[in-house]
Amino acid sequence: MNGLRVAPTAGALLAGLLVAGRWSFARLANEQSSMTFEPRLWLVALLLALAFAPAAGPLRPLTLRARAAWAGWAAFYVYFTISVAWAPDLTMALDKAAELGLVAAAAMSLVRLSRNSDVDEIADAMWRTLAIVYALFAVMALSNSDADSRLAVLGGGPNVFGRNMAILGLICVDAILRGRARALAIVGVSVAGMLVLLSGSRGAMLAITSGSLLLLWTHRLKPTRIVQAALVLLVAAVIAATFTDVGRAAVEMFRERVVRLTLEEEHDSGRSQIYDDAIALGWRGPIYGDGLAGFPARGYFVYPHNIVLEAWAEGGAIGVLLLLLALRGPAALVLRRPLGAPPLELSAFVALLLGAQFSGDFFDSRAMILLGLLAVLRFERPRR
């Protein structure tokens, strides 16, 4: 495309969307911003322009599994957009529909790019960009760490920061298992693990743990290699926790957030009440739900902090069914573990899916959605 390297550019833009979220410069000043001035809108616009440019090249046909994966998410987005019609607050519903539209447009762009570009090159560029950006976030957090509070950077919340560091940790674990820059990757996963703990996000802790275990599963390692990798990670964790101030602070945060608050005091940050409210709202319209953004419009929390309950509350049984159908493609790859399935995408997909049961909403789950779709597209790519 006139000298522009499409696949690496698309990968960098995709990474930018995963990182940016709802962030804007206005957040640094604790002010409200319009979507028009938020990076996410322009990143998606550039992705669309790249994917549908006239000179993008001939399109390869999609396989049946790839079509099914995209169709599942398309049906999900269409249904929830239609649910604006019976939503209790039109303004809130339209705002949320716009966010869903951004994720849908990014997914559509990814599918289109997989047909006229090298999807492996897109994925590699995305992971490289994420590794660099998240490493910078880690440096920023370490330079401004406060042992008495949960870590976050650039005005974002600690749960978002924790998820980002969990993904950085998975990138490093994957590099270790592939034998790439092992010394640097060991340092990276140690730092990422400590920062996940310092974020205080229990969902992020679950994400990095489950994702790391799944990487061992999807890489099809021999038992001896698994033991070796586990020992390396364990030794790195013990050294970091014992001989560094950050490590000791991370251990203390774990004791506070997990041992004392979660296990001893059974404190769940109000999640039980939020979940009960979401379940009750869903039963008010068990087939169709209360409509998009119905949960906050009824005076409950901003969102249910669980995407399955969010689908139930706002989309009813149809919404939950469509969500499960959309998740079917990457979930089947995880369970079947066929040769050629991309381990990092699948592990990150599962890690973020589990994390999405404790924090965030549909838009916050964009990485889970796009990485799951990318996993299917990479597995179904044309073989040379």
Q: How far apart are CA 102 and CA 128, in angstroms?
A: 23
CA 2 vs CA 8, 54, 56, 111, 114: distances in Å: 15, 11, 10, 22, 19
Whether 146 is covered by a domain: the verdict is: yes
> What single string gives the DSSP state of each residue in 106-131?
HHHHHHHHHHHS-HHHHHHHHHHHHH
Quick one: tokens of 39? 């990076």
Determine whether 251 is exposed, middle or buried from the number of CB atoms within 10 Å of its CB (0-12, 13-18, 19+): middle
Q: How far apart are CA 284 and CA 272, in angstroms?
A: 19
Q: How far apart are CA 4 and CA 146, in angstroms?
A: 43
Segments forming the whole domain that contains residue 224: 130-265
CA 30 to chain centre: 24
Whether 161 is covered by a domain: the verdict is: yes
At residue 294, what is the residue type? G
3-state secondary structure of 375: helix
Beta strands in the chain (DSSP E): none
The answer to whether 252 touches 208, Cβ cutoff 8 Å, is no
Quick one: tokens of 263? 């296990």
Whether 141 is covered by a domain: the verdict is: yes
The answer to whether 186 touches 172, Cβ cutoff 8 Å, is yes
The answer to whether 145 touches 108, Cβ cutoff 8 Å, is no
At residue 65, what is the residue type? R
Quick one: tokens of 192? 């990422």
Whether 29 is covered by a domain: the verdict is: no
Whether the full predicted model's pTM is greater than 0.85, yes or no, is: yes
Q: In the chain, what are the helix, strand and coil shares in percent, each to the nearest 5?
A: 75, 0, 25
Whether 10 is covered by a domain: the verdict is: no
Q: At what angle do helices 343-355 and 366-379 cross, to 10 degrees?
A: 150
The answer to whether 100 touches 80, Cβ cutoff 8 Å, is yes
Whether 332 is covered by a domain: the verdict is: no
Predicted pLDDT at 384: 46
Tokens 């296990």 belong to residue: 263
Total of domains in the chain: 1
Q: How far apart are CA 214 and CA 348, in angstroms?
A: 9
Q: Taking the alpha carbons of 173, 174, 178, 183 in that order, is the dihedral positive or negative?
A: negative
CA 47 vs CA 14, 251, 266, 287: distances in Å: 8, 41, 44, 35
Q: Taking the alpha carbons of 65, 69, 72, 78 in that order, is the dihedral positive or negative?
A: negative
How many CB atoms lie under 10 A from the CB of residue 108? 19
pLDDT in tens, the chain (384 residues): 544 688 999 999 999 999 998 888 766 666 677 788 889 999 999 999 999 987 666 788 999 999 999 999 999 999 999 999 999 999 999 999 999 999 999 999 999 999 989 999 999 999 999 999 999 999 998 887 665 678 878 767 888 899 999 999 999 999 988 887 778 998 899 899 999 998 888 889 999 999 998 998 888 877 887 787 778 778 877 887 777 777 888 888 888 887 887 777 777 778 899 999 999 999 999 999 999 999 999 999 999 999 999 999 999 999 999 999 999 999 999 998 888 889 999 999 999 999 999 888 999 999 999 999 999 999 987 654
Q: Taking the alpha carbons of 310, 163, 211, 133 in that order, is the dihedral positive or negative?
A: positive
Rg of the chain over Cα atoms, rounded to whole angstroms, equals 21
Whether 180 is covered by a domain: the verdict is: yes
Whether 198 is covered by a domain: the verdict is: yes
Quick one: tokens of 200? 């205080």
Predicted pLDDT at 34: 75
